[in-house]
Structure formats: C-alpha cells, structure tokens
Structure 1
C-alpha cells in the first residue's frame, strides 16, 4: 500500500469533467498537476450510483473553494468508467455542478498500485490522499465502505501540513504550533 513519505504513482486517466456536449471527457495525468506547483487531494469512492458516495462528493464540492484557498487541487476517482461518471452526474442533482474532475480508473491500475482495492468486489476503498507539490504522499486516510469521510478533518490536516511546523493533537488553523 502506498503510504506517507512515498511518491504517489504516476497516472494518466480519462475523466468526466463537464456535462457540456462535446466537452464531457479529458485525459488527466499526475504530471500536469505537479507542474502547477500546487498541493493535490485525490479521493476515491467505491462505486457510482450508490448511497454514501454522493454525500462525500457533494461535500468535497461544497468545500471546493476552501481547498482552492489552500492552493490545493481536487480530483475524485472510482473504478467506474468515465461514461458511468457522466451518467451519474447527469442523473444526480448533487453531482451536476461538480467543480473537479471525476477520474475513471476502470482498469483498476491506479487503485491496484495504491493497494486500495477490496478483496471481494475489487472496488476502491474510501481512500483520501494529500499530495504535496513534489508528488509525495503527506497524508492517507482510508475508511470502511460504510463510513463517509470528514471533510473538515481533511481540511484541518491540510492546514497543518502546509504550516511545515509541529502541530499538536486537535490543532486548528490560527492556533499556536509547537516550538521545541
């Protein structure tokens, strides 16, 4: 399993990026995001057309501006195809106005390299990765399939990582860091 302190695996995947006819899909690579010099947050969900997943995707979308304020790009991903992503976005009210791409890891190459595929169904676990501008994994969080993520905690950890300081338990942006 890829973990903290390791390089995030290189990828080039098709993504659903829009509902506009003729502009629905685009190939996206890690390399293009690393060139921006920004942080990157990639989160995986098990399957489209399920129940917990859209609540998380909507929450990330609602917090999109907060991630952008932290110089961080967002990518969502599952092992569904880009066409399934498009169908889901088209038919689910909470997903129509997404501000970030939905990566299609249908070949399960990236999920497999990350070590986040379930044994039985071979779908991605609810994994979240914070990747620094050099491509290093700085935080990983993996939830059971039945439990959604906490976006506020993800933002708190991102804030702490971006201080490049020692941050105590339950630290929040604006609080004192540890001085040793």
Structure 2
C-alpha cells in the first residue's frame, strides 16, 4: 500500500541532536517540511557517506524550511558514540533518531524483519504531516542530497500552487504545467 498522502503514524522516540538527548514524536513533523531519512545502521559503510552529504547540505534544507530526521534501529546512545568518533558523522547538526523497537521503521514500511534493520528509505513530509515523497533504494545504493533538494522544491511548489504540476527534471524557476484537456496528447 502506498504511503503517499497518508499521515505519519504516531511514535515517540529518543534522539541525539547537537550534544543532547531529546524526545521526538510525530507531532514534531507538523508545521514544517520534514525529511525522515532511514538508513540500516551506525558504524557502517554507505550510511556515513549519505548522512555526511545531508550534513553538508543541511543549511540549504533549513533555508527551505525543512528539518531532517535520520532514523536507524540503533539507540540514541549509539548515535552519540558514532557522532563522537566519526569525522563524517561529527558534522551532523540535524536530529538522529534512535528506533531500537522498530516502531518508526515499521510505521514507514521499511523494516527488514530478518535483519532488524531499516531499508534506505527517504520520506518527505509536508507541514500537514502527510507524506509527499517516498524513495526506497537497495542497501548498496547511496542517496544524493542535491537530488532530494530538487524533489523537495518541486513538492513545495506543487503544495503552494494548486492546479500546477512539475514536469520531469523540473528545477526551481522552470516552467510548470497546468493539467487540462488542451494538453492531452500534446506533450
């Protein structure tokens, strides 16, 4: 079942953010755009490259009004230890959510049950708490923050411009489409 346009299910978790442990719930995703970024595990190989890429682009996400929540089935203690020991992960200023029970991971449908780990799932949540973008990739395929930023800009544009849609490879400032009978068969 697709999660597009569904509300984020309730959860409560402890996270590591900027040297502190904080509580995070689904309510924290409301009122702003959010990225919920699942990855398999701390202290691995592809994961730190993705999380570092997000960290290096975090200011751009914030300028767009987007908060990032990285999530794995590790604990918030593990996130802190990784943050303190890895040059790549030490760059992170966004929220690193621990999900040792797998509740959040299962809520988003990305739990690899036999491993107790999350798939590489990226979810963009609008200010109403509804999921607008879902991307799941195989474990060996790292994601790209720049491509995610492009998709978020398109989602934000469509959200604030009812009746318009963004065509393939749309970039901010490019023309959009207004679906109508006149366009059928002409594109």
TM-score by length of 1: 0.92
Could you tell which deviates more after superposition, 115-124 or 74-83? 115-124
Taking structure 1 as reference, are residues 74 and 94 closer, same or farther at Cα in structure 2, changes over 3 Å only? same
Instruction: Answer yes or no: is 1:122 the counterpart of 2:116.
Output: yes
Q: For the Cα contact (< 8 Å) 2:18–2:94, is it kept in 1?
A: no
- Cα distance, 1:18 vs structure 2: 2.7
Runs of 4+ in 1 over 4 A off after TM superposition: none
Instruction: Answer yes or no: is 1:10 the counterpart of 2:10.
Output: yes
Q: For the Cα contact (< 8 Å) 1:2–1:114, is it kept in 2?
A: no
Equivalence for 1:65: 59
Instruction: Answer yes or no: is 1:25 the counterpart of 2:18.
Output: no
Aligned equivalents of 1:121 and 1:32: distance in 2?
Answer: 28
Aligned equivalents of 1:45 and 1:64: distance in 2?
Answer: 17
1:121-161 Cα offsets, whole Å, 9 max, x none, are: 12000100000000000000001111101212111111111
Equivalence for 1:92: 86
Unaligned runs of 5+ in 2: 159-163, 180-187
Aligned equivalents of 1:150 and 1:96: distance in 2?
Answer: 19
SS of residue matched to 1:96: helix
Aligned equivalents of 2:40 and 2:50: distance in 1?
Answer: 11
Q: For the Cα contact (< 8 Å) 2:119–2:138, is it kept in 1?
A: yes
Equivalence for 1:142: 136
Q: For the Cα contact (< 8 Å) 1:2–1:113, is it kept in 2?
A: no
Aligned equivalents of 1:151 and 1:4: distance in 2?
Answer: 20
Equivalence for 2:41: 47
TM-score by length of 2: 0.89
Unaligned runs of 5+ in 1: none
How many residues of Structure 1 are paired with residues of Structure 2 in the alignment? Answer: 174
